[in-house]
């Protein structure tokens, strides 16, 4: 690999986001369709990734225009927090990359205002905790006949950082206790012995008994949705970062080994690692970008005999995304990284750039360049 490729990649990210931000501004892109990011309402689960991307760049460039967009996005989320009854497990994605990021980057009242917002979000997230099943409930019903009070999903492993942060900043251990209870449920019920991962686990909401699993965004209940594996890698590594409990690091490593062992030759995963021959093996670049960030974090915590494996694999995946999946020469494409797969079973946003893929790719490159601490 070229020694300077991470800086070249970062320069491309900064140039492109600076350009696309002129249209997107303080709004909430999700998936790029026909070259242009489709905008979602502020309540959508991906609302934090665009401002998070802007904060990553602001930290390096101090571009006040990007800061203003990110701050406006955060302010728009106030209405979501106060007036929307379908807030779910993804409050971490929404407020970790807006309010917590701003709190970490800015001093004085600006940072304090964001701290208060993030603490309120953390309190709302704790309110979704089911004490019988030891899990944070996924989402509220979208239809009157929908009964999902016992559903928990692997994505929530990434949202636990909001609770760890809340305990650290407030001195109140209750947030950490809830996060660890859910993390223990992930270790016990989500990550399989071979390192593959269940997307949805269903519990009896009254007794906590495990009732079964659901394939969710994977191909089937017993398949291996690659982004779910990435959530487990990074989410468990973050739980270890905040607690230093060895079981979380071991779980992250188990999922990482499965992920690495099932990568295709170009190091960018298919959307599910267990697909029948007659199903198209679309890539999911967002899974690769997220997993790479998790691998880089694991590398910080293992001894020297192991560290190189995780560091090198993370770098290889980011390099592959940059060289083979980047849209740098495509003027009509707003996304940074091509060939993401959002929800194959529902036929939604297949083989397109995704804002969370763009965010994790930028975060990974920023990590290689040692720009600063994680927002998580």
What is the pLDDT at residue 44? 96
Which residues have a catalytic role annotated?
Answer: 90, 155
* pLDDT tens, residue order, the chain (376 aa): 557 999 999 999 999 999 999 999 999 999 999 999 999 999 999 999 999 999 999 999 999 999 999 999 999 999 999 988 889 999 999 999 999 999 999 988 878 999 999 999 999 999 999 999 999 999 988 888 889 999 999 999 999 999 999 999 999 999 999 999 999 999 999 999 999 999 999 999 999 999 999 999 999 999 999 999 999 999 999 999 999 999 999 999 999 999 999 999 999 999 999 999 999 999 999 999 999 999 999 999 999 999 999 999 999 999 999 999 999 988 899 999 999 999 999 999 999 999 999 999 999 999 999 999 999 9
Do 254 and 196 form a contact (C-beta atoms < 8 A)?
no
What is the pLDDT at residue 2? 56
What is the pLDDT at residue 142? 82
What is the pLDDT at residue 146? 87
Write out the E strands in 177-299. 200-203, 210-214
- CATH code reported for the domain at 5-368: 1.50.10.10
In order of 21, 67, 199, the CA distances from 58 in angstroms are 13, 6, 34
What is the pLDDT at residue 108? 83
Which sequence spans correspond to the domains of the chain? 5-368
What is the pLDDT at residue 109? 82
Of 221, 229, 126, nearest to 176 by C-alpha is 126
What is the pLDDT at residue 23? 98
Beta bridge partners of 283: 270
CA distance 115 to 103: 6
Query: 206 exposed, middle or buried (CB, 10 Å; 0-12, 13-18, 19+)?
Result: exposed
CA distance 291 to 24: 27
What is the pLDDT at residue 308? 97
CA distance 128 to 88: 8
CA distance 318 to 324: 10
Q: Hey, what are 119's tokens? A: 């603490």
128, containing H or E segment: none
In order of 122, 158, 297, the CA distances from 79 in angstroms are 16, 23, 34
Residue 281 C-alpha from the chain's centroid = 22
Do 271 and 344 form a contact (C-beta atoms < 8 A)?
yes
CA distance 204 to 60: 47
């Amino acid at each position: 690999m070229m020694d300077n490729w991470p800086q070249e990649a970062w320069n491309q990210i900064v140039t492109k986001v600076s350009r696309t931000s002129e249209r997107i501004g303080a709004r909430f892109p999700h998936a790029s369709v026909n070259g242009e990011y489709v905008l979602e309402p502020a309540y959508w689960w991906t609302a934090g990734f665009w401002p998070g991307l802007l904060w990553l760049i602001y930290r390096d460039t101090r571009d006040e225009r990007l800061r203003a967009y990110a701050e406006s996005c955060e302010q728009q989320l106030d209405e979501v927090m106060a007036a929307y009854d379908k807030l779910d497990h993804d409050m971490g994605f929404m407020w970790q990359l807006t309010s917590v990021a701003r709190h970490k980057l800015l001093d004085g009242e600006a940072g304090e205002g964001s701290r208060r917002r993030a603490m309120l979000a953390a309190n709302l997230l704790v309110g979704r905790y089911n004490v019988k099943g030891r899990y944070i409930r996924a989402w509220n019903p979208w239809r009157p006949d929908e009964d999902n009070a016992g559903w928990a999903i692997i994505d929530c492993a990434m949202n636990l950082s909001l609770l760890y942060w809340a305990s650290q900043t407030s001195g109140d251990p209750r947030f950490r206790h809830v996060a660890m209870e859910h993390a223990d449920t992930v270790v016990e019920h989500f990550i399989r012995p071979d390192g593959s991962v269940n997307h949805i686990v269903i519990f009896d909401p009254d007794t906590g008994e495990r009732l079964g699993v659901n394939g969710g965004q994977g191909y089937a209940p017993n398949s291996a949705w690659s982004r779910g594996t990435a959530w487990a890698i990074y989410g468990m590594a973050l739980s270890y970062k905040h607690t230093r409990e060895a079981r979380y690091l071991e779980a992250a490593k188990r999922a990482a080994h499965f992920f690495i062992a099932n990568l295709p030759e170009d190091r960018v995963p298919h959307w599910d690692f267990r697909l029948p021959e007659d199903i198209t093996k679309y890539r999911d670049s967002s899974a690769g970008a997220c997993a790479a960030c998790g691998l880089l974090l694991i590398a910080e915590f293992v001894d020297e005999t192991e560290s190189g494996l995780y560091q090198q694999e993370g770098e290889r995946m980011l390099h592959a995304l940059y060289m083979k999946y980047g849209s740098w020469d495509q003027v009509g494409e707003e996304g940074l990284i091509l060939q993401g797969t959002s929800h194959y079973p529902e036929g939604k946003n297949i083989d397109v750039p995704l804002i969370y893929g763009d965010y994790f790719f930028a975060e990974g490159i920023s990590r290689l360049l040692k720009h600063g601490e994680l927002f998580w």
